[in-house]
Amino acid sequence: MIQRYELNDLIRADNFIDGKWVPAASGKRFAVTDPATGEVIAQVADSGPADARAATDAAARALPAWRDALPKERAAVLHRWHALIVENADALGRLISLEQGKPFAEGRGEVMYGASYVAWFAEEATRVYGDLIPQQQRGKRMSAVKEPIGIVAAITPWNFPLAMIARKIAPALAVGCTVVGKPAEDTPLTALALVMLAHEAGVPAGVLNLIGASRENAVDAVKDWLEDGRVRKITFTGSTPVGKYLARESAGTLKKLSLELGGNAPFIVFDDADLDAAVAGLMASKFRNGGQTCVCPNRVYVQASVYEKFADLLTQRVAALKVAPATDPDAQIGPMINARAVEKIGRHVSDAVQRGARVLTGGKPLAELGPNYYAPTVIADATPEMQLSCEETFGPVVPLFRFNDEAEVIRAANDTPFGLASYFYSQNVRRIDRVARRLETGLVGINEGAISSEAAPFGGVKESGYGREGSKYGLDDYLSIKYLCQGGLE
Ligand code: ADP
């Protein structure tokens, strides 16, 4: 019988270290609020270096036994964790909506998406093969085996409070690493609930440790991990400046890093595209989580001959989106995460308008709904010098750029330091092959806007980072290869 919890039973506000719930050593706490109303949901432990160190100590003690457990024993624990997450999908989905703001259907969808990584890596845990290398010299046997890298520090963002941490913890635990983690200060509660379920699933004390911290204290807490030689790997999802900082600051102990950083995804609509399919694909990929995802299209390029028609079709769909609190069953877009996010969106829109763009729908905050709402927006006549062309807007704003030919749009699409996702719509098979090869991104959606899957390798190129999450490649980031050479055999 798998335990099913109510939302309130899942709310934990302490750190989880060495199998126990403990307050921060300083006794400090910080408030986590509902972005729809600004009301305080919980006062979470506000950790510093002492708490980070205690987590690492526990992870170090737990490492030998977990590393030496049979893969199928670790897999069994992960399978139980998966079952608990799925059984509690409603309550976890509500918790995501409460602290992050996305509509409940999306929150529940995120739970199932995050759970799919746990199931995937439970299965992959038993398939970490090495190689017997063909003999090179008589009397010598050479082989390569894969070993867990050691203690992993996981640092995650607020936009997918469950999925981002699940897809880091699951592969780490699958191969026998132990974990210390810090979720984003806006949304620590879902991660703490996930850890509570992991403990119930049988993850041994010390194998998985999670600390909360305000933005202010996170820097010193995480710094302890960056400088501690026992922590062998950092896995991070977040902004490019913070990713670069982590790489720089951890260089002293030469850790392995996986960095899933910012994007600035182009979405290209060629004149030979099925326009209805392109609009549907853009709606699905752009407005998920209110436009607050790193794979969201940020720049939409439409070929001149279909520009006005596409803009009309899109504007009708965007104007009909229902913006409401996550608790409204019809909500399609909830509040943005915080006031800082709304301010950035507003800044991008007014900069575009000042430089000659036209607002086709939206273009303003929806203050009547609450503090953090912004209207879904379509902007026509966008140009490369506008801020929304160079930076991720991270909100429900679609800027439409006009282009004339394929070479021009590929140049424009690649003219960014980022390289996470790109999308394009065309029905010409030769063009599909050409464009897919030339786009400089880690992920490419071809006539498809919803591309994420636990079976696919997720990750970027250029300043969008390195490392891959999910798929058969996702374990490699948590493994090191050891070469064994045995002599004297003849
Ligand atoms: P966002 O802009 O989406 O908040 P960030 O990259 O700022 O993205 O944050 C992602 C994660 O990194 C969060 O958990 C945040 O607390 C953490 N973080 C941000 N700055 C630092 C820092 N200097 N040191 C350690 N962690 C940080």
CB-based contact 352:388 (threshold 8 Å):
yes
The DSSP-derived string for 80-122 is: HHHHHHHHTHHHHHHHHHHHH---HHHHHHHHHHHHHHHHHHH
CA angle 319, 447, 275 (to 5 degrees): 45
- Alpha carbons within 13 A on the beta-carbon side of 109: 10
- Determine whether the shortest distance from the Cβ of 262 to ligand 1 is under 6 A: no
Per-residue confidence band for 375, with pLDDT thresholds at 50, 70 and 90: very high
180: Cβ below 6 Å to ligand 1?
A: no
Q: Of 51, 99, 155, which is best to mutate to test ligand 1, by the most ligand atoms within 8 angstroms of its C-beta? A: 155
Q: Closest residue (by CA) to atom 16 of ligand 1?
A: 184
Kindly state the average pLDDT of the residues 404-427: 98
Which pLDDT does position 231 carry in this prediction? Answer: 98
Task: Say whether pLDDT at 253 is over 90.
Answer: yes
Helix axes 406-414, 429-438, angle to 10 degrees: 30
Task: Give bridge partners of residue 485 from the DSSP assignment.
Answer: 142
Could you tell me how far CA 385 lies from the centroid of its own chain? 28
Q: Which ranges of 143-239 would DSSP assign to H, the alpha helix?
A: 163-175, 188-201, 215-227
Active site residues: 260, 294
Give the distance (Å) from ligand 1 centre to CA of residue 224: 15
Is pLDDT of 244 > 90?
A: yes
Does residue 235 carry a pLDDT above 90? yes
Output the pLDDT for position 94.
98
Question: What confidence category does residue 278 fall into, taking pLDDT thresholds of 50, 70 and 90?
Answer: very high
In this prediction, residue 428 has a pLDDT band, given cuts at 50, 70 and 90, of very high
Short-list 154, 133, 128, 142, CA closest to 67: 128
The answer to whether the CB of 338 is under 6 A from ligand 1 is no
Checking if the pLDDT of 490 tops 90, the result is: no
- Tell the residue number behind the tokens 């399978």, with chain if given: 79
Compute the CA torsion angle 300, 303, 305, 306 (nearest 10 deg). -40
Core vs surface per residue 57-68: b (16+ CB within 10 A) or e:
bbbbebbeebbe
Nearest protein CA to atom 15 of ligand 1, as residue:
184
- Average pLDDT value for residue range 13-28: 98
Are 353 and 363 spatial neighbours (Cβ–Cβ below 8 Å)? yes
Q: Are strands 29-33 and 40-45 parallel, antiparallel or unpaired?
A: antiparallel
Helices (H), 176-214: 188-201
Residue 243 has pLDDT above 90, yes or no: yes
Whether ligand 1 lies within 6 angstroms of the CB of 155 is answered as yes
Relative orientation angle of helices 49-68 and 215-227, to the nearest 10 degrees:
50
Q: Amino acid identity, residue 104?
A: F
* pTM exceeds 0.85 for this model: yes
* pLDDT value for 184: 98
Average pLDDT over residues 435-443: 98
Answer whether 191 contacts ligand 1 (Cβ < 6 A): no
Position 298 pLDDT exceeds 90: yes
Average pLDDT, the chain: 98
Residue 1 has pLDDT above 90, yes or no: no
C-alpha dihedral, 408 to 463 to 188 to 475, nearest 10°: 110
Tell me what pLDDT residue 33 has: 97
Neighbours of 420 (CB within 10 A): 26
Q: Whose CA is nearest to atom 23 of ligand 1?
A: 219
Sheet of strand 141-148, all strands in order from the earlier edge strand to the far edge: 131-133, 141-148, 479-486
Residue 209 pLDDT: 99
Local confidence band at 201 (pLDDT 50, 70, 90 cut-offs):
very high
Kindly give, in sequence order, each residue whose CB lies less than 8 Å from that of residue 445, ignoring residues fewer than 6 positions away. Answer: 281, 285, 421, 422, 423, 424, 451
Tell whether the model's pLDDT for residue 334 goes beyond 90. Answer: yes
Between the CA of 208 and the centroid of ligand 1 the distance, in Å, is 20
pLDDT (tens digit, 9 = 90+) per residue, 95-116?
Answer: 999 999 999 999 999 999 999 9
